[in-house]
């Protein structure tokens, strides 16, 4: 019998982060796709199976959840090299974009087809049948608009098939994906859960439990500010904005091209340039190390000012707030600019996660904790129900005597 495997997936605007099973598998894939043909040309076909599948994700997806059914895609690193690569645009809704599902299905298929999971899922010839219990999330503004309901229904009740085409190690394999359950969480609430609960679902940071907290989650295309009061998100006061770092990254990319004649493949390249430990804000121009500090500082400072204005407005409406946590990949990009603005202006009590991986993986970790908690409670309820039924049955037998 096919088991249901835990999947916690954060389809971020910059990248997908996914955790599986008992944290025995994780995937980090740039959120870039490109429509492609079935026979993509490669050099050294005989060496294909020695390469990393993550660098060559080439798939066909058949799913009733997609507007473009049966389309063929390059995904992640492979897509970033394509001339027709697409990244999510500002103003788009994550719950309504095919790209969100393409990324999710690709990650699930990679996990399902992995030889480590041969005993978990049934396999027949080249076909894997995989069942998942999924925890994922949407921006607060989309949940407030009720878009989570339609998003969940698209995933449940259907079979979503991923066929690996010219992909290292998995060429010719197919994965049929079914969901036993799908839980969709508001991203701001998920960030709060990650602050107060460890991987074993035990309470940590108990001093935060009853505090009034803001969580400003800065993503690629949007920003959510969750207002936490009495351990819950205050839906009425929580705010969502169509303001992320993607547009700023695109501006930096265009200005670098215009000034230095260097064409960078994607926003991911810009993120690496402005966050790398050594030679930060430098690129190579005709083999020479060249600073792009002036471009980066001007564009990101302007974005940081907009983000800070949102923080100030929300804090003024929630005057008894005790601390604001900045989370998400965008917060890592803007951290130094926001700190400088805050020191020179209002001096709010703000904090960042200094561990870059912890900040970037926060949502995936939160979804994992939430879906694990849901499963644990469901299993406990099932046991209690079976116990009650057994006791009722015994009572009935006793009364018949």
List the CATH number of the domain containing 170.
Answer: 3.30.420.40
> Which phi-psi region, left, alpha or beta, contains residue 21 (left: φ > 0; alpha: ψ -120 to 50)?
left
* 129/233 same-domain check: no
Cα gap 244→307, rounded to integer Å:
9
30 domain-assigned: yes
* 13/69 same-domain check: yes
Asked if residue 186 lies in contact with residue 140, where contact means CB atoms within 8 angstroms, the answer is: yes
Tell me, rounded to whole angstroms, the distance of Cα 107 from its chain centroid. 11
Per-residue confidence in pLDDT tens, the chain, 401 aa? 468 999 999 998 888 999 999 999 999 999 999 998 877 766 555 467 778 999 999 999 999 999 999 999 999 999 988 888 887 776 678 899 999 999 999 999 999 999 998 889 999 989 999 999 999 999 888 888 899 999 999 999 899 999 999 999 999 999 999 999 999 998 777 777 877 888 777 878 777 777 889 999 888 888 888 888 877 778 778 787 888 898 999 999 999 999 999 998 778 789 889 988 788 899 999 999 999 999 999 999 999 999 999 999 999 999 999 999 998 888 888 999 999 999 999 999 999 876 777 778 888 999 999 999 899 888 887 677 766 676 666 666 566 65
**Dihedral sign for Cα atoms in the order 256, 91, 365, 212:** positive
Q: What is the pLDDT of residue 302?
A: 97
* 168/242 same-domain check: no
96 domain-assigned: yes
Asked if residue 216 lies in contact with residue 168, where contact means CB atoms within 8 angstroms, the answer is: no
Query: SS3 breakdown of the chain: % helix, strand, coil, rounded to 5?
Result: 45, 25, 30
Q: What are phi and psi of 84, to 5 degrees?
A: -105, 25
Q: What is the pLDDT of residue 40?
A: 72
* 56/105 same-domain check: yes
CB proximity list for 356: less than 8 A, separation 6 or greater: 275, 332
The Cα-based distances of 266 to 58, 77, 246, 374, 386 in angstroms read 18, 10, 10, 37, 54
385 domain-assigned: no
Q: What is the pLDDT of residue 1?
A: 44
191 domain-assigned: no
382 domain-assigned: no
Number of other residues whose CB lies within 10 A of the CB of residue 203: 10
* 179/219 same-domain check: no
Token match 């471009």: residue? 295
Q: What is the pLDDT of residue 358?
A: 76
* 33/175 same-domain check: yes
**Dihedral sign for Cα atoms in the order 131, 135, 139, 140:** positive
pTM equals: 0.84
116 domain-assigned: yes
* 248/341 same-domain check: yes
* 79/127 same-domain check: yes
* 44/140 same-domain check: yes
230 domain-assigned: yes
Host H or E run for residue 306: helix 293-317
* 328/238 same-domain check: yes
Nearest alpha-carbon partner for 370 in 184, 131, 107, 119: 184
150 domain-assigned: yes
Domain residues for the domain of 281 are 210-360
Host H or E run for residue 186: strand 174-186
Number of domains in the chain: 2
Give the long-range contacts of residues 120-126, CB within 8 A, separation 24 or more.
120/2, 120/3, 120/5, 120/21, 121/2, 121/3, 121/5, 122/2, 126/172, 126/173, 126/174
Tokens of 372: 């694990």
Nearest alpha-carbon partner for 131 in 115, 148, 111: 111
Q: What is the pLDDT of residue 82?
A: 83
* 97/147 same-domain check: yes
* 262/354 same-domain check: yes
Q: What is the pLDDT of residue 203?
A: 79
Asked if residue 18 lies in contact with residue 138, where contact means CB atoms within 8 angstroms, the answer is: no
């Amino acid at each position: 019998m096919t088991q249901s495997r835990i999947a916690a997936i954060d389809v971020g605007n910059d990248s997908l982060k996914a955790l599986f099973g008992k944290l025995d598998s994780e995937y980090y894939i740039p959120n870039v796709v490109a429509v492609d043909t079935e026979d993509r040309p490669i050099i050294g076909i005989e060496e294909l199976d020695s390469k990393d599948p993550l660098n060559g994700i080439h798939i066909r997806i058949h799913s009733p959840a997609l507007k473009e059914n049966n389309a063929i895609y390059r995904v992640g690193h492979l897509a970033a090299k394509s001339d027709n690569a697409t990244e999510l645009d500002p103003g788009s809704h994550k719950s309504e974009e095919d790209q969100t599902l393409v990324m999710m299905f690709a990650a699930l298929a990679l996990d399902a087809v992995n030889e480590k999971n041969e005993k978990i899922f049934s396999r027949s010839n080249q076909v894997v049948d995989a069942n998942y219990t999924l925890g994922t999330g949407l921006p607060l503004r989309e949940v407030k608009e009720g878009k989570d309901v339609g998003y969940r229904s698209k995933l449940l009740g259907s079979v979503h098939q991923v066929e690996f085409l010219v992909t290292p190690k998995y060429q010719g394999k197919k994965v049929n994906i079914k969901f036993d359950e799908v839980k969709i969480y508001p991203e701001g609430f998920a960030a709060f859960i990650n602050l107060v609960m460890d991987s074993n679902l035990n309470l940590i940071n108990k001093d935060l439990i009853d505090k009034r907290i803001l969580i400003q989650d800065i993503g690629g295309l949007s920003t959510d500010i969750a207002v936490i009061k009495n351990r819950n998100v205050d839906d009425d006061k929580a705010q969502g904005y169509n303001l992320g770092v993607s547009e700023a990254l695109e501006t930096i990319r265009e200005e670098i091209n215009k000034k230095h004649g260097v064409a960078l493949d994607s926003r991911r390249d810009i993120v690496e340039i402005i966050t790398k430990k050594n030679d930060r804000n430098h690129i190579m121009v005709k083999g020479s190390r060249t600073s792009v500090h002036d471009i980066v500082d001007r564009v990101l400072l302007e974005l940081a000012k907009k983000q800070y204005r949102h923080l100030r407005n929300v804090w003024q409406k929630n005057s008894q707030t005790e601390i604001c946590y900045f989370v998400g990949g965008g917060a890592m990009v803007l951290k130094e600019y926001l700190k400088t603005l805050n020191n020179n202006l209002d001096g709010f009590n703000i904090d960042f996660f200094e561990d870059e991986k912890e900040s970037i993986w926060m949502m995936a970790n939160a979804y994992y904790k939430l879906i694990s908690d849901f499963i644990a409670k469901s299993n406990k309820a099932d046991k209690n129900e079976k116990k009650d039924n057994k006791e009722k049955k015994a009572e009935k037998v006793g009364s018949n005597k």
